[in-house]
Each structure stands twice: as structure tokens, then as C-alpha cells.
A and B are shown apart, each in its own frame.
Chain A
């Protein structure tokens, strides 16, 4: 039986895709566990307190890293590979190199996290893993990105479309960001607070220029292809893309408002954050005015439901983000747990939800096996509930934290006392999310494992992760 070209492409990507998705799933569980421990330590500081390995600060930092590099990195590799291959209509070659590099990537993160827990953390945001692991991470990243590039270069269709811009740009941005960050933080460290500017610049941009564009690219891919209609006002997409490329790297430093850095740094950041309403509006229009032309299909096709949840959450919380970057508001909330809201809405509410959707979309095509609807639905509702509870608690808790903290007559202990109930809610939310992610990984397991290829990946991956 002769296969159609799409099946051939899927076949060529299957090996590597399964490996990356399975690794991503395991990292997701690791991150969920760490998140729960950290949340539990906030409600009960004595929990596990005698073990230095489980100090709150270390757990918190390794959770962010496991999430961004473990789950984020692996799932970025998986979905970029498949989407780029499909859009370019060309086969993936060199799967073995992908797996090899992927194994190094996962091993390095494992060592990196152990390094953090063992007390060798660096003091830069999302660059906390010890120095030694970064060269390996960079090299394995470059191998993977290079292979995806080769696929992209051999595309049949010369004209590129939005999902390709976003994904390819994200793949290029990450190593550039890393080199820029590394040169100013470790190779030739600037004195004093110069380091802090660069650290925040890097840490925020990893989210804005790596995770975010990939998720946007996925949404630009899946919405028209499932609904079978073009993106509404597609001509705006190019404007949206260049706005993100041009504004995001400037806007992230608004977090330094009022701090010991030159005044113009946060001032530029604030102006640019406000300008971010344009790209947010563009993406939101593109996605939602397309999707809402066929609401019943969005609702009934679960992967798309996940994606639209993600894009809606992106829109709403990015606008909230803009509001919180205004100096008058930042005065209250700049250092409050609103920051947790921003981080979690971006990585859970937006990025992860879209990745869940796209993975559920791709898996059946690649493996030929369907995932049970009930299981998927369960995953969707628990995720939605967990994300909702988490974000709401951080949002309301953050406002409480900021507003009370601003009153000098209230002792700090009293302020924190009023925020404690929200910490308790987040603890439960992380529990729900962890549970829901377990369901996700079991769903993956069911489709990947019976497959002879995938089961060997799985084992390879179990060893590394």
C-alpha cells in the first residue's frame, strides 16, 4: 500500500516526536511535584525543613527550570519539528541525532537541577543551573535546531506563513538570548546592578521570545487547519509578529521600576509594555475572530478547545499584565505575588494549554491510535479548574499583598498573614494540576507504549529523565 506524503512525513518524525513528548511529559510531572512541595512549604514552613536539599528557595528555582527547560524545551522541540515538517512538506532526517541531542539536553537539565538542589545555584533568572551544564545544553540545542532548520530549508513551498515565522524565530532567539545573557553575566560580568538588568532581561525574554512565540505559532497552525478556513485578517499577523520581535526585548525590563538602575531603563520598559497591546490585539483578533465563526467545532474538537483556552488566557492576562506594568499600579504590586500570576498564566494558562492541545492533535496522526475522549476531557477540565484557581488566587492574593504592604502602619507579618489563605489555595491548585498532568502523561503513555518504536524511546527517556 502506498502511503500518502503526509503519512510519510509523520512516519519520519514519529521517532523523535515521541521521544521529545515523552520526555516533556516526565519533566512536567517532576515540575508539578516540585511546585507542590514549594507551595506546601509556604503554608507550613516546617514541612521537610530539616533537609537542606529541599530548601524552599532551591525547590522553587528548580521548579521553574524544570518547567521551562524540561517541559518547555522538550515540547518545543517536539511540536516545532512536526509543524515545520508538515508545513514544509519535507521529511525529517537524522532522527538519531535528534534523539542523541535530546538525551544530552535532558541529562544536562537533570544535572543542572541536582546542582541547584545541592547548593550551586547561580543568581540569574532562569540561568540558575550551574555553569558546567550550559555548554552541553547549548550544543544539544544547536543540533536539534539545526535539524529543524534543514527540514525548513528543504520546504516545497517558498512562501512562508505565520506559524513558520513564529516557530523559526523562537528557535533562533533562544541561543542568541543565551549568548547575550551569558556574555554579560558570566564571561564578562558587569559590575553591580548591570547584572540585574541583564538577568531580568534574559529571564523574562526566555518566556516572551521562546515559549510564547512557539505557542502562538501552534495556534496559528492548528486553528485554520482544523476549522478549514483561513485566519481572519491574516494580513495583520505580520504586523503582530514584528511588534513582538521589536517590542518584547525592550518591554521586559519594566520590572526594575524604581530600582537602583538608570531611570531610563524601566521607563523604556514601561512604554514598550504599553505598546504591547498592539501585538496582543492582533493575535487575539486573528485567533478569536476565526475560531468564533465555528464555535461548536472548537468546543467539540478537544485539541482546539485546549488551544482556544490558551489563546483566551493569553489575551486576558496579557492585558492584565499591561495594566500591572503602569507605574501607578506597579508601585503596589511590583514585588507582590502578582509576579507568580504573570509567570503561571504564561507557562500554564497559555503555553502548556496550547501544547496539550497540539500534542493531542498530533499524537493520533503519528501513532494511528486514538486517546479516549473521557480521559482527554478529564484532563481538560482538571487543567482548566487548576489553572483558574491558581491564577485567581495569585491575582487576588497579589492585590491584597500589594495594597496592604503599601501601608507602613501594618507590620509585615500582618500583611503576610492576610496573604496566607491564598497560599493555601495555590497549594490545592497545584495538587489539582499535578493530578491533571498525571492524567496527561498516562494518556501519552497509552498511545506511545504499545508501539515498538515508541517503547524503546520511552526506556531511553526513562533513563535520562
Chain B
């Protein structure tokens, strides 16, 4: 130990062995993971038309991840569901299954975190929070969860005494105020909504813990009144009702959707694609809003079947009078949540922001599926 060069080299080596083992070892083991299908063929190959998971986040959500990071939300929230032997996370209802490395490969900011003052957020997008609820919570968690110590971010909102187009109402004791989300707030909410490990992978299946009889109890624990009762039902059911009306209605303010997609949302094989279980409906909101506004034509694959038809957009002067942002939001929220579908609600602000991003597109220029799939533009 008296020769400083030798000494330095030894202590450097002790450190670099550990580093090499972790970095090189782990990289070799799973550095080249790719998205894959929920289940593989027998020979280990990916079935030809299978959907691949994980999917990358929409651009707006990726920007939201950066905001989430810069506000230090990860100091209190983890994003990892531990394996069943190592923790109680699945039982707590924080996920349908433990998280695995593959879930994170497409995320630019991996925010596993290691403090849980707040609940795990790896699957917050799967919980039944409307985006309005998430906005209220982001603005002032105490306005929706009594006694919460989640940290408020009122600086992301514009506060008003009067309602405006896309404002959200907050009841604060006697007085009501209206808040208008900034772009940053919308990004964070989009990010939270995109957090879900809602698919199986060849290496991990949904956990069966929750299917045992205790599930009732757990479900009620997860869906505490704090969350659902205060914000969710009245609000969502309103949107659902109005959405259903639009779906069925012929004439002004109606979408006529049922004539093609049918009352049960199953469509007609070979002619009109189904809305139930369709990734176009349940997946990326931005894409869904885009195709609703301008319409869709050309070949599209829905639930593994190919269709080739034309659907005029209902957000722009085409056949009949166009639907406004609120109506589009309602009908889309409706199709995302009926017939066994379940996905987050769509707010008029989201429609407005997408509408704004495509305002230069010619009214009669419909989207094609290929185009929508290739450009998940960031904003």
C-alpha cells in the first residue's frame, strides 16, 4: 500500500470490476431488447400480424416526461411494480403484473425512483381518472383528495373567476374558480395517462393474485372513494351520455356513427371496421382525434383484419355540419368506454390542441393509416 501507483491501480480495479459487471453484464443480458408480441409462436418468433409492445409514447407525453422530471415528481413517486416475491405492489393494485425491463426500453427518461411517499405511478394511466381529474389533482391535489401531501403545481394553470371554453371548475369551499391548463400541464397529464403496463409479454403474464376472492376487497381499496366518488362518475357519465347521443344521432350535431360501425360497435366485416378493442380507438389519442377531424381513407388494419374504405371527417365542413371540440371529445370518450372498451377520457382541450396542430391541412385531405402511424409528431 506504500506505492501510490500500485495502490491507485488496485482501488481503481475494485471499482471498475463492479462497474463492468453491472454495465457490461446487464447490457449483454438485455441491452438489445425490442418490442414484442404478447405471446410468441412456438418457435419463438413473433406472430406475423401481432401487435407489438411496449408502444412508444405519443410526442406530447414524451415532453410530459421531461416536465415531470424537472418538477421532481420522482422524489415521491416510483414507477416500478415490484415482483410478487419482493413486494406487495400487485396486491395493492398498482399494476396487473410486475414491471419488467422491456417495459422501459422506449422511454427516454426512465424514472424508476426509490421513494414512495405517493403511490406508484407505473400504471396510473390505467386507473380510472379522467383527464379533468388529473388536471385538478396536478393543480391542487388537496382539491380532490382531502389531506393529500402530493405537491401542488398551481403555476401551470391560469386561474379565472369565470368559466371559459376549456376551463375546469374547482370548488374551493364556497367559491368556485376556473383553471385553464397551460401546454406544460397538458403534457404532464398526457404523460400520466400514457403510463400503463397494460399488456402481457412473453416473459411476464398478468398476475393471478388479483383473481382470487380477495379481489373484491382490493378493488374497493384501489378505487377508494377519494378518487372515484368525488370526481369520476358524474363527470364521465355526462360525457358518455352526450357521446352516445352523438353516436346515434342523424342530422345536425350528430355523428351517424352507428350507421356504419353499428350500435354494438362491431362494424361490418369487410366494409366497416369495428371500434371495440381497436387500437385506433383505445391507443394514441392524438391519432384518434386527427382521423376524426379530417377523416380516414385507404387501407387500414383493425384487430388484425384489413379494411379499405373511406370515412369522411366529422370535425371539418364535409358532408354535414361539423362537430365541435366538445362533441368530438364526447363521442370519442364514448367509443373508448362502451362495449367493454376502457380507456381514458378525451377532453375538448385535447381536441382543440390537435385541431390547432393540423390547422394547415386542407379540409378535404383525409388521413391514411400509414400516414398516421408514421408521424407521431411531438406536440
A-to-B contact residues, CB < 8 Å:
41-43, 45-46, 49-52, 55-61, 119-121, 123, 149, 152-153, 158-160, 165, 168-169, 172-173, 176-177, 180, 184, 190-198, 200-201, 209, 238, 242, 245-246, 249-250, 253, 255-262, 264-265, 268, 327, 330-331, 334-337, 339-340, 405-413, 416-417, 420, 423
Scoring B111, B113, B149, B152 by chain A CB atoms within 10 A of each residue's CB, the highest score goes to B149
Output the least CB separation between A182 and chain B (Å).
12
A contact residues around B114 at 8 Å (CB): 200, 255, 334-335, 339
Q: Are A413 and B116 in contact (CB under 8 A)?
A: no
Residue B339 interfacial (CB < 8 Å): no
Residue B295 interfacial (CB < 8 Å): no
Q: Are A260 and B72 in contact (CB under 8 A)?
A: no
Q: Are B1 and A165 in contact (CB under 8 A)?
A: yes
Q: Are B19 and A201 in contact (CB under 8 A)?
A: yes
Instruction: Using known A-B contacts A119-B70, A121-B70, A193-B112, determine if residue A408 contacts B152 with beta carbons closer than 8 Å.
Output: no
Binary flags per residue of B87-114, CB closer than 8 Å to A gives 1, else 0: 1100111000011111111110111111
Q: Are A260 and B80 in contact (CB under 8 A)?
A: yes
The docked-state distance in angstroms from the alpha carbon of A180 to that of B22 is 11
B contact residues around A246 at 8 Å (CB): 14
Output the least CB separation between B242 and chain A (Å).
32
Which size class do B's interface residues fall under? 35 or more
A272: nearest residue on chain B (CB-CB)? B18
Q: Are B82 and A258 in contact (CB under 8 A)?
A: yes
Q: Are A180 and B73 in contact (CB under 8 A)?
A: no
B contact residues around A149 at 8 Å (CB): 4
Q: Are B71 and A416 in contact (CB under 8 A)?
A: no
A contact residues around B145 at 8 Å (CB): 413
A contact residues around B87 at 8 Å (CB): 258, 331, 334
Residue B371 interfacial (CB < 8 Å): no
The docked-state distance in angstroms from the alpha carbon of A197 to that of B101 is 11
Residue B324 interfacial (CB < 8 Å): no
A-B contact pairs, 9 of them (CB 8 A): A192-B103, A242-B14, A245-B10, A259-B80, A327-B86, A331-B88, A334-B82, A335-B78, A406-B88
Q: Are A337 and B110 in contact (CB under 8 A)?
A: no
Q: Are B119 and A412 in contact (CB under 8 A)?
A: yes
B contact residues around A176 at 8 Å (CB): 12, 15-16
Instruction: Using known A-B contacts A180-B15, A411-B226, determine if residue A192 contacts B107 with beta carbons closer than 8 Å.
Output: yes
Output the least CB separation between A171 and chain B (Å).
10
Output the least CB separation between B104 and chain A (Å).
4
A contact residues around B80 at 8 Å (CB): 259-260
A242: nearest residue on chain B (CB-CB)? B14
Q: Are B149 and A420 in contact (CB under 8 A)?
A: yes
B contact residues around A417 at 8 Å (CB): 147
B contact residues around A340 at 8 Å (CB): 115
Output the least CB separation between A114 and chain B (Å).
13
Output the least CB separation between A161 and chain B (Å).
9
B142: nearest residue on chain A (CB-CB)? A45
A contact residues around B370 at 8 Å (CB): none
Residue B235 interfacial (CB < 8 Å): no
Residue B374 interfacial (CB < 8 Å): no
Interface of A is mostly: helix
Output the least CB separation between B167 and chain A (Å).
19
A contact residues around B40 at 8 Å (CB): none
Residue B264 interfacial (CB < 8 Å): no
Q: A190-B27, A327-B85, A408-B217 are in contact. List 4 more A-B contacts (CB 8 A).
A: A61-B75, A193-B112, A262-B26, A330-B86
Output the least CB separation between B94 and chain A (Å).
9
Q: Are A245 and B72 in contact (CB under 8 A)?
A: no
The docked-state distance in angstroms from the alpha carbon of A255 to that of B7 is 30
B contact residues around A268 at 8 Å (CB): 21
Output the least CB separation between B103 and chain A (Å).
6
Output the least CB separation between A128 and chain B (Å).
9
B89: nearest residue on chain A (CB-CB)? A258
| Set B1, B75, B109, B217: member contacting A57, Cβ < 8 A | B75
Residue B337 interfacial (CB < 8 Å): no
Q: Are B101 and A192 in contact (CB under 8 A)?
A: yes
B18: nearest residue on chain A (CB-CB)? A249
Instruction: Using known A-B contacts A168-B7, A193-B112, A196-B112, determine if residue A49 contacts B151 with beta carbons closer than 8 Å.
Output: yes
A contact residues around B195 at 8 Å (CB): none
Scoring A45, A159, A192, A255 by chain B CB atoms within 10 A of each residue's CB, the highest score goes to A192
Instruction: Using known A-B contacts A45-B149, A49-B151, A123-B69, determine if residue A262 contacts B101 with beta carbons closer than 8 Å.
Output: yes
Q: Are B71 and A58 in contact (CB under 8 A)?
A: yes
Top 6 A-B residue pairs of the complex, sorted by shortest distance between their CB atoms: A57-B72, A258-B86, A258-B82, A249-B18, A192-B104, A335-B116
From B28-36, B253-261, B285-293, B348-356, the one touching the partner chain is: B28-36
Q: Are B11 and A57 in contact (CB under 8 A)?
A: no
Q: Are A201 and B15 in contact (CB under 8 A)?
A: no
Residue B118 interfacial (CB < 8 Å): yes
Binary flags per residue of B322-359, CB closer than 8 Å to A gives 1, else 0: 00000000000000000000000000000000000000
The docked-state distance in angstroms from the alpha carbon of A253 to that of B100 is 17
Instruction: Using known A-B contacts A56-B151, A177-B15, determine if residue A194 contacts B74 with beta carbons closer than 8 Å.
Output: no
B210: nearest residue on chain A (CB-CB)? A408
B145: nearest residue on chain A (CB-CB)? A413
The docked-state distance in angstroms from the alpha carbon of A247 to that of B341 is 52
A contact residues around B23 at 8 Å (CB): 180, 184, 190, 194, 197-198
| Set A51, A55, A123, A197: member contacting B26, Cβ < 8 A | A197
Scoring A123, A261, A264 by chain B CB atoms within 10 A of each residue's CB, the highest score goes to A123
The docked-state distance in angstroms from the alpha carbon of A100 to that of B17 is 35
The docked-state distance in angstroms from the alpha carbon of A192 to that of B87 is 21
The docked-state distance in angstroms from the alpha carbon of A93 to that of B69 is 44
Output the least CB separation between A19 and chain B (Å).
26
Residue B76 interfacial (CB < 8 Å): yes
Restricting to B150-192, which residues have a CB under 8 Å from any CB of A?
150-155
B contact residues around A193 at 8 Å (CB): 101, 104, 110, 112
Residue B8 interfacial (CB < 8 Å): yes
A contact residues around B149 at 8 Å (CB): 42-43, 45, 416, 420, 423
Q: Are A408 and B221 in contact (CB under 8 A)?
A: yes
B contact residues around A177 at 8 Å (CB): 15
A contact residues around B73 at 8 Å (CB): 57
A contact residues around B17 at 8 Å (CB): 249
Instruction: Using known A-B contacts A262-B101, A335-B78, determine if residue A410 contacts B72 with beta carbons closer than 8 Å.
Output: no
A contact residues around B305 at 8 Å (CB): none
Q: Are B19 and A159 in contact (CB under 8 A)?
A: no
Q: Are A413 and B226 in contact (CB under 8 A)?
A: yes
Q: Are B221 and A410 in contact (CB under 8 A)?
A: yes
Output the least CB separation between A188 and chain B (Å).
10
Output the least CB separation between B356 and chain A (Å).
25
The docked-state distance in angstroms from the alpha carbon of A55 to that of B12 is 39
Binary flags per residue of B108-142, CB closer than 8 Å to A gives 1, else 0: 01111111111100000000000000000000011
A contact residues around B18 at 8 Å (CB): 201, 249-250
B104: nearest residue on chain A (CB-CB)? A192
The docked-state distance in angstroms from the alpha carbon of A184 to that of B110 is 14
B contact residues around A43 at 8 Å (CB): 149
